[in-house]
Amino acid sequence: MTLATPTTQAPQLPQLHLPRNPGMDLDLDWVARVQANTSAIERRAATLPGRRSVKKDHQAAWLCRAISLIDLTTLSGDDTPGRVRRLCAKARQPVAPGILSALGMTGLTVGAVCVYHDMVETAVEALQGSGIPVAAVSTGFPAGLSPLALRIAEIGQSVAAGAAEIDIVISRRHVLTGNWQALYDEMREMRAACGAAHVKAILATGELGTLRNVAKASLVCMMGGADFIKTSTGKETVNATLPVSLTMIRAIRAYHDRTGYRIGYKPAGGISKAKDALVYLALMKDELGDRWLQPDLFRFGASSLLGDIERQLDHHLTGAYSAGWRHAMA
């Protein structure tokens, strides 16, 4: 795995210049043909942590890239405007200036800040002028069981409040009952409600039962116009895993091969260590190529991940591990 060593210019913020996925007619024959060889997928996923190793300056460069791909997230019931503003300050300056200076890096920010709908206006105000987009979780997050009309209205309110990205949750029951038409219709309606805001479809893969269901749900959401597909809300018992990621990434590749449209991918929940981020980056590079290592096509849904990456960068420069409290989120 190769990547240039850190330079004086940070990875660019997403320009969202790619043609948006308009979706396509629901192709039930294609959905019916979808397979997922679970044992083969799990064997491939098990090899990933040991197949790629990057050290020293190359590792630092990869970790800086990972920071630029983070959706820095707070989704707690006790969120306050003050907490969100502190998170936004961390998004603007994710790594201590002394570390960035020693790496020869300037202008590094995270990919986005992700908050509940009620905190969108606060985040937008705090990030004004930074170029960092605000993503809002919507549609009855995390369960997605409120009436559809309310979920659609919530999307509209989040967009009106300034959210540039909407993370919607699908109705898991449509997947579990094989009602692909209902899932497609729901996705189309949510995509329309988002307007110019990009939509990330959260599959809640830990609740879908099988990798085949994950593959089919991924495909149907892309047919419905999703700009990104995302593993999890972060609230399920099982969130992002490598087998699930491999399944979803290969669905993205199949959709791109058929339509020419690039769909983004967002693993979320349970990715808290820098070494795990490196594995996911290697997986994306192997399966989809370098173009998918940009913020407009790949994001980490995470909060504690940033602190561990900052700690690893500090270790790269000093040779010693600092205390975690020195790299607080805010």
- C-alpha to C-alpha distance for 204 and 168, rounded to whole angstroms: 11
Specify whether 55 is catalytic: no
104 three-class SS: coil
CA distances (Å), origin 329, targets 21, 102, 172, 307, 321: 34, 21, 32, 7, 17
- Encoded amino acid at 225, one letter: G
Active site includes 273? no
E strand or H helix that includes residue 265: strand 264-266
Contact predicate 225/23, CB 8 Å: yes
Supply the Cα-derived Rg of the chain in whole angstroms.
19
- The contacts of residue 50 (CB under 8 Å, 6+ apart) are none
- Tell me if 231 sits within 8 A of 267, measured CB to CB: yes
Please count the CA atoms within 13 angstroms of the CA of 187 that sit on its side-chain side: 34
* Catalytic annotation, pick one of 167, 276, 308, 314: 167
Contact status, residue 13 vs residue 295, Cβ threshold 8 Å: yes
Q: Report the distance separating Cα 105 and Cα 88, nearest Å.
A: 20
- Token digits for 217? 């749900």
The alpha-helical segments, DSSP class H, found in 73-147 are 81-92, 97-103, 120-126
Q: Which of 230, 296, 308, 314 is catalytic?
A: 230
According to DSSP, residue 77 is labeled: T
| Four-residue CA torsion sign, 78, 80, 82, 88 | positive
String of b and e for 107-132 (b: at least 16 CB within 10 Å)?
ebbbbbbbbbbebbbbbbebbeebeb
Catalytically annotated residues: 167, 230, 266
